[in-house]
């Protein structure tokens, strides 16, 4: 036995179905409403028959004209600083995906710059790509990817006194 609420819901669905189904059927009806024939009169003037081989030009497009290509604009971008040497400390960080780069991060060089790092304790050097220019914490001037850092020192030696040049 259905409860009072279930009967109300069933009645509501039935009413909606009785109204919606005929409305949908009427909207799908593609037959013309007026089947009366129309008479056309012809005039004595000659008419041009459309040529179906070429499409007509759209009315909203301008007439094509010969236009000159725009001038090439030269933008002057300042060259990255070169020959700069900065001394400080370096530490390491592990980037999740290096995609073939040897990443490091320093705010002292432009993004994409090749930086040469020299360990002042043992004289070892390495080159890395600057991937970030945000400020660094704990007084370091550069953060180096862990695997690259191992080329100049052990991880327990961090922070390391270094000199960077770019």
The predicted pLDDT at position 126 comes to 92
Q: What predicted TM-score, i.e. pTM, was given to this entire model?
A: 0.48
- pLDDT tens for residues 10-33? 888 888 888 888 888 888 776 555
pLDDT at 45 over 70: no
For 63-93, b/e burial (b = at least 16 CB within 10 A) is eeeeeeeeeeeeeeeeeeeeeeeeebbbbbe
- C-alpha dist (Å) from residue 28 to 22, 108, 119, 154: 10, 69, 80, 77
CA distances from 117 to 36, 57, 63, 66, 111 (A): 91, 65, 62, 57, 16
126-145 tens-digit pLDDT: 999 988 888 887 788 888 88
Least confident of 28-32, 33-37, 160-164: 33-37
- Which residues, at least 6 apart from 39, have a Cβ–Cβ distance to it below 8 Å? none
Domains and CATH numbers, the chain: 85-165 (2.40.40.10)
Helix (H, G, I), strand (E, B), or coil: what is residue 103? strand
- What's the pLDDT at 65? 66
Long-range own/partner contacts, residues 128-131 (CB < 8 A, 24 or more apart): 128/102, 128/103, 128/104, 129/101, 129/102, 129/103, 129/104, 130/104, 130/105, 130/106, 130/166, 131/95, 131/101, 131/103, 131/104, 131/105
Question: Which is higher by pLDDT, 95 or 63?
Answer: 95
């Amino acid at each position: 036995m259905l409860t009072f609420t279930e009967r109300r819901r069933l009645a509501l669905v039935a009413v909606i179905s009785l109204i919606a189904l005929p409305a949908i059927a009427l909207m799908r009806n593609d037959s013309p409403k007026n089947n009366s024939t129309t008479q056309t009169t012809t005039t004595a003037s000659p008419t041009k028959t459309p040529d179906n081989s070429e499409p007509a030009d759209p009315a909203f497009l301008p007439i094509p004209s010969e236009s000159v290509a725009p001038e090439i604009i030269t933008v002057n971008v300042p060259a990255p600083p070169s020959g700069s040497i900065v001394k400080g400390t370096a530490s390491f960080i592990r980037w999740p995906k290096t995609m073939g780069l040897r990443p490091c991060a320093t705010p002292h060089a432009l993004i994409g710059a090749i930086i040469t790092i020299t360990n002042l304790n043992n004289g070892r050097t390495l080159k890395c790509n600057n991937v970030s220019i945000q400020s660094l914490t704990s007084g370091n001037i550069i953060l180096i990817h862990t695997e690259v850092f191992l080329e100049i020192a052990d991880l327990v030696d961090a922070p390391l006194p270094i000199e960077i040049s770019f």
